């Protein structure tokens, strides 16, 4: 018996997040209806072929008709457009939610389009990979990951409980916070680190004294992890930075100051500063492992790569 109280889930956007929601809901025993739409016919066809949805539609308004839960799973910059497009099809008392990585801007973009007899509960599952599209999803994506809600001042607690139970059924842990605070927290834990990864991979690409094949062949663990992050979807991340400007710039300002301090320590041979700094950061990693948010297996538990071809 499914713990999911909704009977018809409508997914707007059918990429990594939406397909994982559909698969995780089915894994949880959800036997109600799932409808979906995406921008292109190719994605809509793929979603049907994979059996992610019972029906796909060309328009958002048709997709949400009769749904009691609508989840917007499009890039943050497309939220306003899809909210306006679906609004005429919304049923009374429907719960409208989203999975956008930025919250204050999504609230500002979506809320004005929703009829008064609907329940808007913004959310953000902190779970993803560098892949995108309907084939990238998997049922386990949300297991033991956090889904954060940023309720509005007039959010109905009964509807929030229903949505929370939905995410628990998908495998997630849940918490609530203020939208501005969410955006600052995510700037620290996700948005600024992504920008730094993009920059580091860009620097390696620009450095003419190190050849491309040297970067590819000799990439050590640190750089390899940067390349994985820097392979993330360009549209999604463009939108994240354009819509979480203030918080990201604040964190990058602090990052730059710390980087200058480390640069000075290296130049001046200040090993004490470097050692103290790295001791503090190692403790943060330990905290993440103790919180069950990553593995402590060496090299993130990856299986070793096959032996490299010997030099000739």
Q: 209 by DSSP, 3-state: which?
A: coil
Among the listed ranges 96-104, 160-168, 245-253, 277-285, the one in contact with ligand NAP (CB under 6 A) is 96-104
Question: Which CB, 84 or 265, lies closer to ligand NAP?
Answer: 84
CA distance linking residue 173 with residue 125, whole number of Å: 9
- Tell me whether residue 119 or residue 194 sits nearer to ligand NAP (CB atom): 194
**CB 57 within 8 Å of CB 64:** no
Helix axes 234-243, 192-206, angle to 10 degrees: 120
193 interacts with ligand NAP by CB under 6 A: no
Q: CB 83 → ligand NAP: shortest distance, Å?
A: 10
Contact with ligand NAP (CB under 6 A) among 53, 73, 96, 107 = 73
Is 109 an interacting residue with respect to ligand NAP (CB under 6 A)?
A: no
Among 76, 87, 184, 204, binds ligand NAP (CB under 6 A): 76
- Closer to ligand NAP at the Cβ: 69 or 82? 82
Element at 124 (helix H, strand E) = strand 123-125
Closest separation in Å from C-beta 264 to ligand NAP: 35
Contacting residue, 53, 56, 78, 247, with ligand NAP by CB under 6 A: 78
Write the CA distances from 254 to 187, 248, 262, integer angstroms: 12, 10, 13
Q: Which one among 132, 150, 243, 248 touches ligand NAP, defined by CB under 6 A?
A: 132
CB of 53 vs ligand NAP, minimal distance in Å: 12
The helix (run of H) or strand (run of E) holding residue 66 is none
171 sits near ligand NAP (criterion: CB under 6 A): no
Among 4, 23, 43, 119, binds ligand NAP (CB under 6 A): 43
Residue 48 region, left (φ>0) first, then alpha (ψ -120 to 50), else beta?
alpha
Burial class of residue 300 in the structure, from the number of CB atoms within 10 Å of its CB (0-12 exposed, 13-18 middle, 19+ buried):
exposed
Judged by CB under 6 A, which of 4, 9, 10, 16 binds ligand NAP?
Answer: 16
Q: Which is nearer to ligand NAP, 49 or 282 (CB)?
A: 49
In 3-state terms, what secondary structure has residue 51? coil
Which DSSP category does 218 fall into?
Answer: T
Choosing from 89, 100, 122, 171, the residue that interacts with ligand NAP (CB under 6 A) is 100
Q: Which of 122, 128, 151, 171 binds ligand NAP (CB under 6 A)?
A: 128
Which is closer to ligand NAP, CB of 40 or CB of 158? 40
**Residue ranges of the alpha helices (H) in the chain?**
16-27, 41-49, 60-64, 79-86, 104-110, 157-169, 179-186, 192-206, 212-217, 221-230, 234-243, 245-267, 271-290
Residues that bind ligand NAP (CB under 6 A): 13-18, 38-40, 43, 73-76, 78, 81-82, 99-101, 125, 128, 132-133, 233, 236
């Amino acid at each position: 018996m499914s713990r999911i109280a909704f009977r018809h889930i409508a997914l707007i956007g059918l990429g990594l997040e939406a397909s994982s929601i559909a698969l995780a809901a089915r894994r949880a025993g959800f036997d109600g209806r799932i409808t979906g739409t995406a921008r292109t016919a190719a994605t809509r066809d793929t979603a049907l072929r994979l059996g992610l949805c019972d029906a796909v539609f060309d328009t958002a308004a048709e997709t949400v008709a009769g749904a009691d839960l609508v989840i917007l799973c499009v890039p943050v910059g497309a939220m306003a457009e899809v909210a306006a497009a679906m609004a005429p099809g919304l049923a009374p008392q429907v719960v409208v939610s989203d999975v956008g990585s930025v919250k204050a801007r999504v609230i500002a973009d979506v809320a004005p389009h929703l009829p008064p007899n609907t329940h808007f509960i913004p959310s953000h599952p902190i779970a993803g990979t560098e892949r995108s599209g309907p084939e990238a999803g998997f049922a386990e994506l949300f297991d033991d990951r956090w889904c954060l809600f940023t309720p509005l001042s007039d959010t109905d607690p009964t509807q929030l409980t229903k949505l929370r139970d939905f995410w628990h059924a998908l495998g997630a842990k849940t918490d609530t916070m203020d939208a501005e605070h969410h955006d600052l927290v995510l700037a620290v834990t996700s948005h600024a680190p992504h920008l730094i990864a993009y920059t580091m991979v860009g620097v390696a690409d620009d450095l003419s004294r190190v050849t491309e094949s040297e970067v590819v062949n000799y990439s050590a663990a640190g750089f390899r992890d940067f390349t994985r992050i820097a392979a993330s979807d360009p549209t999604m991340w463009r939108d994240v930075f354009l819509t979480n400007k203030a918080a990201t710039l604040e964190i990058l300002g602090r990052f730059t100051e710390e980087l200058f301090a480390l640069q000075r320590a290296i130049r001046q041979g200040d090993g004490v500063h470097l050692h103290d700094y790295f001791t503090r950061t190692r403790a943060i990693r330990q905290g993440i492992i103790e919180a069950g948010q990553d593995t402590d297996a060496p090299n993130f538990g990856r299986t070793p790569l096959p032996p490299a071809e010997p030099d000739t």
